[in-house]
A and B are shown apart, each in its own frame.
Chain A
């Protein structure tokens, strides 16, 4: 089901100072395509979970509208929206068995007993928990609880599956397998899925599209690679990608892009300061460039991860192929790979060009 947010705004009263208002979601417009796995990504407190709960119908809007396809659901109660929601800590009912948890939404919807029984078996098979149906949540591992929560959310055959930080309560190893699992379940069911995370790597690896939010504002939407290659502003550029993009204070000078006295490329622009972003893999040792000193080198199998302190005092990260001989404590001149240098407006942070 296609989801459209139109001018969605959510304001909270500040608890400590009731006269202050906090805008958790600020005039957000976005469209979520049908049948895809979409990730709401941003640092904590950016309003992504609030947005998710607004879609779920658990969070009232201060302003704006939400459409499922072309139907206005803004005023609809959560149970009329045909959504399934997986909470961050799963919120499995501790006094019910796994089967009881999955049956609960169906009983409330007044399904027939045989149908409930059949549906339990069906969803249990999808999320692979068939042998756990008689257990209580306390007897399950985190990963199993996660699956049960997804099974419960899927039970009522919702048209949208919403997951709030689904992986944050799992340890690193489980997180890997579980995110594959979520992707598999989404593929198997074809259900429009929206999940919230603050982990950009998680978002990059499993989602079909990423929606990036910052401080309540919608920032950028696109496929992971697209967002990685064409960040729309400084925030996205710095947030997406690991290691973090290197930023340099640069300037336009008579049709050239300069950092200190290193001329990077020719590009027309009004003379004045700009911010230049270069990813670690777009830095190379060159004859011309910025002079520095290699502080640390990590060998990562196929590549070298080098920490370099420039003469300006700035620390940067460079990734080179393992064959490029770079040793710790050596002096180095770092140049930029043409075509992979991002120019940002220093004041607004907006992306200007890639040179």
Chain B
């Protein structure tokens, strides 16, 4: 019986398995092998840990890790916090909700490169809107957002938060709308005010959704590249705004150092693997139906 089932399933499973093998598993394995190869050409092989020693001595890489960590730890919670507020406001209106939902989702479907162009103007030191407002409100001097190592990463984070809002707002709004409205009626009868309702009913019931958004956000944040490349450009490392994927990209296409790029990719893979395990633990932890 089991043999029969496998025979039937095989033709359906094979195509995607073959494609995954060629384009995902093989490159993965190859990157892993190459990361231990310190010879200049991929064709010859010489096992050594030199690449990793080299990698962790490289200040640019350490800076990339640092940037990536900060980027992830700041943009993800900030974005989720703002998204929760927007989602709560969206769910509290009935009229025009769909309209605003669409508006908030637009950044998700627009090209990051095109939007970064606009943000480049906003961040412009001399005539950018952001400096204009900051100058007006707080009397701050003009900040060279994207042309200064001190500020470039902050600019990327602001842009990153804005970019990730779209997805988070959509998921969180849907999550909030799927909470049975009876709970809120019951909470009203039970004398809960709006704040209590939000923190004691909405948040616990939304926890699985928040944990999902948090995990996806974290994994995406560790893979951040487009935001950097589109906003700062190819000189990101000069402005100390490079991230791990940016470093991999640089090693691969600018310095043509396959083994170093591979080693960096393996480090990133390990981090994301750990995050995935953490997310599975988090998902179980936040499932209120589990005992």
Contact = CB atoms under 8 A, between A and B. Distances in A.
Nearest to A103: B190
A186 to B, nearest CB: 19
A79 B191 contact: yes
Q: Which of A58, A95, A139, A152 has the most CB of B within 10 A?
A: A95
Given A79-B191, A93-B186, A93-B201, A108 B196 contact: yes
Interface string A84-120: 1101010101111000000011001100000000000
A129 B288 CA distance: 21
Contacts of B289: 94, 136, 138
Contacts of A153: 189
A234 interface: no
Nearest to A87: B182
Contacts of A79: 188-191
A56 B189 CA distance: 8
A138 B191 CA distance: 24
A65 interface: no
A89 B182 contact: yes
Interface residues of A, number: 24
Given A91-B183, A94-B288, A138-B289, A104 B189 contact: no
A66 interface: no
A85 B186 contact: yes
Contacts of B285: none
A78 B183 contact: no
Q: Looking at B190, B192, B207, which has the most chain A CB atoms within 10 Å of its CB?
A: B190
Given A105-B191, A108-B190, A152-B190, A91 B185 contact: yes
B285 to A, nearest CB: 12
A93 B183 contact: yes
B185 A58 contact: yes
Contact of B291 (A85, A109, A139, A152): A139
Contacts of B40: none
Interface string A309-349: 00000000000000000000000000000000000000000
A79 B188 CA distance: 7
Contacts of A108: 190-193, 196
Interface in B192-219: 192-193, 196, 200-201, 204-205, 207
A162 to B, nearest CB: 9
A84 B189 contact: yes
B4 interface: no
A251 interface: no
B188 A78 contact: yes
A96 to B, nearest CB: 8
Interface in A166-217: none
Interface string A37-68: 00000000000000000001010000000000
A23 to B, nearest CB: 22
B196 A58 contact: no
Interface in B6-34: none
Contacts of A91: 180, 182-183, 185-186
B6 to A, nearest CB: 36
Interface in B120-164: none
Contacts of B189: 56, 58, 78-79, 83-85, 105, 153
A94 B205 contact: yes
Contacts of B192: 104, 108
A78 B191 CA distance: 8
B190 A105 contact: yes
- Of A78, A108, A138, most B-chain CB atoms within 10 Å: A108
A147 interface: no
B272 to A, nearest CB: 30
A160 B78 CA distance: 46
Contact of B288 (A56, A83, A95): A95
Interface of A: 56, 58, 78-79, 83-85, 87, 89, 91, 93-96, 104-105, 108-109, 136, 138-139, 152-153, 156
15 contacts: A56-B189, A79-B189, A84-B189, A85-B186, A91-B185, A93-B183, A94-B289, A95-B204, A95-B288, A104-B192, A105-B190, A105-B191, A108-B196, A136-B289, A139-B291
Interface of B: 180, 182-183, 185-193, 196, 200-201, 204-205, 207, 288-289, 291
Given A85-B189, A104-B200, 5 more contacts: A91-B186, A93-B183, A109-B191, A136-B289, A156-B191
